[in-house]
Chain A
Amino acid sequence: MTAQAALRSSAPAGERPGLLSMAHVDKVFGRDVVALRDMSLEVGQGDFISLLGPSGCGKSTALRLIAGLSHPTSGSIRWAQDRVDGDLSVVLQEPTLMPWATVAQNVWLPFRLHGRRFRAVRDEILEALKLVGLEKFQNAYPRELSGGMKMRVSIARALVTRPRLMLMDEPFAALDEITRFKLNNDILAMREKIGCTVIFVTHSVFESVFLSDRIVIMAARPGRVIRELRVDEPYPRGEAFRTSADYAAQCRAASEALKEAMGAHDDH
């Protein structure tokens, strides 16, 4: 089953076919700094998972491990099916664009690194730029764009290969509230269209409730998973959900879980 089909089948979160599984993952920095302890996570196809927690809870470390940027000290991270080029993409906190390249050339990057010529993938590039609403800016340079637009380019670059899994590391943390709301709406709309699985690291309770169907609450020192919440509101979600009583209740529940995580120092 493709990720898209999984999304459409609307199987409840937790019962979808597996995409990736983390089992008892530990990560130790230096000699004894435990960044992550015994993290297990079953990622289903079509899940939108938020990793929510205070600074130092290992959420970014978990994301880097899944991205393959570093390796677990112990435990395992396995894909259910073999990964191919373009299956995995990342959006980082900074837009991380190449300043010397135009918008279109930046979006071309994942293809380019897989040896595809610009002309051969031009349609995909334009399609991705259209998804983020920047098709008119394909020949602009990053310095000509605002912060929100740069982030859109970064998202277009992540979408262009139609990845099965998209990792987002606090992508909107540096943006203003209005831009952030807009991008939250847009990211859900884009996902409706291309149907990928998302793991989203965030500090924001509101963002995590609005975006995800699974919220993994993490605590610091050592970084670990405290509990998982479900947000059952069906997609597509829009402004109606953001202003609903249900949303407020979910945010309260997540805030309480987070408070518990902040208080839960493990002093062993």
Chain B
Amino acid sequence: MTITDESRLQTATAPAIAADAEELARMRRRRAEKIGQWVLPALVVVLTIFAWDRIVVINEIPHYILPRPGLVASTLIEDWPILFQSLLVTLQITMGALAIAVLGGVGLAVLFTQSRWIEMSFFPYAVILQVTPIVSIAPLIFIYVDSKIAGLLICAWIVAFFPILSNTTLGLNSADHNLRDLFKVYGATRWQRLRFLQLPSALPYFLGGLRIAGGLSLIGAVVAEYVAGTGGIGSGLAFRILEAGYRLNIPRMFAALLLIALAGIVIFASLSFLSHMLLRKWHESAIKRET
């Protein structure tokens, strides 16, 4: 609250007030927590890598079973041209699928809220599509779809679109009913209600769905590449992993795996950032509380 904030600010800057021991302890704790948030995970990673390296050395494990972390890193650098090309292909499929999932998910959600009949008729099919494992649908898709790229996109889309659809539908339907009444009193058209009330209400829900969908479309793209196999499109990261596996090139498998994991983290982080930027001014989820 703006007014109380100002008064709190004044008391905070007033020098005469003695510091409260309990408050000081709380502030110290919070500062320590803030540092720990970054330092602890980093420490665990460093320790894990060190332990991994020691285990390989002490047990004399051959590099075609478990490579040392250093070897994975040098493979990543040496094979970078090939791996980077593959990463781009996988990312293209992932982003393409995510884009179509957003269009399809939001489009269907809007259609659903315009008519309960449409929602009742089609929602079960969306669920069926969601609960059927993609690996069991993918072979069929690659039989019927000639273009491998299109096939990969469809697979990744099937996995990614459901969270967007279900979250956006929920969001569109959860607009404040008092605001709905108000819009009605002011004679809002259906389009105005959608544009000015339902879509903004659905935004936090949609963004939640988008974060899940980002990770899922990467999974969808990788799984589809596996199913599509080595025939023809040997260029995505999943293919590199398969290929390296056949050749017992374990360091490269690890390097490719690392890239996929990093890609997933980057996708999640950037979608979280997008969500934060869009909601930070007004939505509870993005507002930092003082206590």
- The chain A residues found within 8 Å of chain B, CB to CB, are 67-69, 85, 88-90, 92, 94, 96, 98-101, 109-110, 112-114, 137, 140-146
Closest A residue to B182 by beta carbon equals A96
Min C-beta distance of B1 to chain A, whole Å: 6
Cβ of A68 and Cβ of B185 under 8 Å apart? Answer: yes
Q: Please, how many angstroms separate the alpha-carbon atoms of A143 and B192 in the complex?
A: 24
**B188 lies within 8 A of chain A by Cβ:** yes
What 5 A-B pairs come out closest when comparing CB atoms? A96-B178, A113-B186, A100-B200, A113-B188, A99-B282
Is the beta-carbon distance between B187 and A90 smaller than 8 angstroms?
no
Query: What is the CA–CA distance of A127 and B3 in the complex, to the nearest angstrom?
Result: 22
Chain A residues, Cβ within 8 Å of B192: 113
Indicate if B183 sits at the interface (CB-CB under 8 A): yes
A96 touches B186 (CB 8 A): no
Select one of B2, B185, B188, B284 contacting A90, CB under 8 A.
B185
Return the contact of A98 from the options B1, B184, B200, B281 (Cβ within 8 A).
B200
Inter-chain CA distance A143–B280, complex, in Å, is: 12
Residues B283 and A67 in contact, CB atoms below 8 Å apart: no
Interface check B287, CB cutoff 8 A? yes
Question: What residues of B have a CB within 8 angstroms of the CB of A140 in the complex?
Answer: 2
Which residues from B are CB-within-8-Å of A67?
Answer: 181, 185
The SS class assigned to the B binding surface is: helix
Q: CA–CA, A99 to B281, complex, Å?
A: 9
Check B203 for interface membership: any CB of A closer than 8 A: yes
* Complex contact B186–A114 (CB within 8 A): yes
> What are 28 A-B contacts defined by CB distance under 8 Å?
A68-B184, A68-B185, A69-B184, A69-B185, A85-B187, A88-B185, A89-B186, A92-B181, A92-B182, A94-B178, A96-B176, A96-B182, A98-B200, A100-B200, A100-B203, A100-B282, A100-B283, A112-B196, A113-B186, A113-B187, A113-B188, A114-B186, A141-B281, A143-B282, A143-B284, A144-B1, A145-B2, A146-B1
CA–CA, A140 to B176, complex, Å? 20
Q: Does B212 contact A (CB under 8 A)?
A: no
Within 8 A of A (CB), among B144-181: 176, 178-179, 181
- The answer to whether B257 has its CB under 8 Å from any CB of chain A is no
Interface string of B253-291 (1 = CB under 8 A from A): 000000000000000000000000000011110010000
Given contacts A92-B181, A98-B179, A113-B192, 18 further A-B contacts (CB under 8 A): A67-B185, A68-B184, A69-B185, A88-B185, A89-B185, A90-B181, A90-B182, A92-B182, A96-B176, A100-B203, A100-B283, A109-B196, A114-B187, A141-B281, A143-B282, A143-B284, A145-B2, A146-B1
Give CA–CA (A69, B182) in the complex, Å: 9
Contact A113 B282 (CB under 8 A): no
Q: Which residues of A contact B1 (CB under 8 A)?
A: 144-146
Q: Which of chain B's residues have a CB closer than 8 A to the CB of A112?
A: 196
